[in-house]
Chain A
Amino acid sequence: MNSPGGGVPAELLRASLCDKPPSRAPYSVQTGAIVAFFGGAIGSIVLALLNSTRLGRGRRDAPWLVAVVLAFAGVTAWWHLTATGFAFDDALRGLLGASGPRIAERALGMLVFGVAAWFHRREQRATDFFDRPRPNGLWVGLGLILFDGALMRGLLAWME
């Protein structure tokens, strides 16, 4: 429905900023990459959730976040609980040495980071473009790296 005069649609002249808190700048792409590389998928998922909350797009991001969590849970269960998963683990060690599984975990973390970075790409770019101050990612990044490591160790011990 158009508003009288000018023909500008009424929904464009509805206030967007008055009834909810303004979006906050997300943690940087660099923080995400470091958490993914040194941490893993769990750290990346938590960071994606934090960014989604800061940007005020929790509801919009819920479907893909849930999909990522389920996919990660599925891959982890398959990898550590099934015969084909064990064979995959052995193949990784054969191809890349003893650190093969850890490299694959990091690759998984980077994949999660890539998915989150793609969904938040416009917000990340606009934040840099308008030079909005970002939150300091140092302590959150360190915390998530340690959290990821501790949680994965606990999870794997529980699976065994």
Chain B
Amino acid sequence: MNTEATLAPDEALAPVGPDEAAARASFWLDRERTDVARAELELALRSHPRHTGLLYESARADYIDDDYVRGKETIGQLLAIDPGHASGRLLMFLIEEQLGEFAQAESLILELIRESPESAGYLCAYARLMLRTLHFEKAGALCNEALRLSPNLDAAMRTRVLCELATGQSTRDSGSMARLIVSDPDDWHTLTLVVYSLAQAGRTREALRLARDLLRQRPGDRHLLEFVKSLSRDTHWTLVPMWPMQRWGWPAAFALWGGGILVSKILAQSAPAYHGAFVALWLSYAAYTWIWPPLLKRWLARGD
């Protein structure tokens, strides 16, 4: 039976056992339909408030909806019933990470790694935490260990690419991005990394096109939505004169600054008639680059 084709939202509310309710909720959460999953869970939890599967999926719904505080409470209830629940502890790790409780998150993931030292997935999760807390060398070493244990694990390769993107390294040099794309060119997570990679390389319009395609597939993804908004701002027509800075960053800004002074001095001596106009234009451009982008951001945010 093809559950994907036949499981409609209204079918989800028919009374079922707690295990099946948890499985159905998981199905909807995998598709980020938290509204349907919550309806399923609410019904089932009334009869089975201590069912660990239901509590886990409920916390997962909170995590997907960015309600980390509530998710932490729910997982706390689950772990009080079953302290060894591995998936629950991993979800607690993710929630603590989002809440900025990095030391607690680290303790949790280290426990899980010590219990399952062959798990490349746990090593990847720890690597991401180290990256987030700016421990770059350790994050890279953990990625390498994860890839040593599971060389073809997509999650490990994605974490490697994440390390490279977060620290500004080119994703071309290590070949991890290329391997990921070859391994599964349609994988949503891989394509998200491609978007970030393009944006980092200054290929903003290409990144925006791909990001919009991905957003059509998952319109509820708030993080992707914010990134699309940010890319849309960066490609706004009034920011076209900012292209050198967008493409080459601070070296371009310094070159423009230094070049402006040099040209100004040359004009002052060789073509004084144009000197005043050039200085006015150059200062106006400098003021525009500092003032307009934050104003545009606020103006567009008001329109959202």
Contact = CB atoms under 8 A, between A and B. Distances in A.
Interface string A81-115: 00000000000000111000001000100100010
A8 B134 contact: no
Given A8-B145, A125-B166, A13 B136 contact: no
Nearest to A8: B145
A37 B103 CA distance: 38
Q: Which range contains the number of A residues in contact with the other chain?
A: 35 or more
A27 B60 CA distance: 34
B156 interface: no
Nearest to A126: B166
Contact of A96 (B123, B148, B265, B290): B265
Q: Classify the interface of chain B: helix, strand, loop or mixed.
A: helix
Contact of B102 (A4, A22, A29, A33): A22
A33 B250 contact: yes
B131 A126 contact: yes
Interface stretch (B29-37, B82-90, B105-113): B105-113
Contacts of B100: 22
A15 B110 contact: yes
Interface string B122-145: 010000001111111010011001
Interface residues of B, number: 38
A37 B254 CA distance: 10
A1 interface: no
Contacts of A3: 114, 117
A34 to B, nearest CB: 8
Contacts of A107: 258
Interface of A: 3-9, 12-13, 15-18, 22-23, 29, 33-34, 37, 55, 95-97, 103, 107, 110, 114, 117, 121-123, 125-127, 129-130
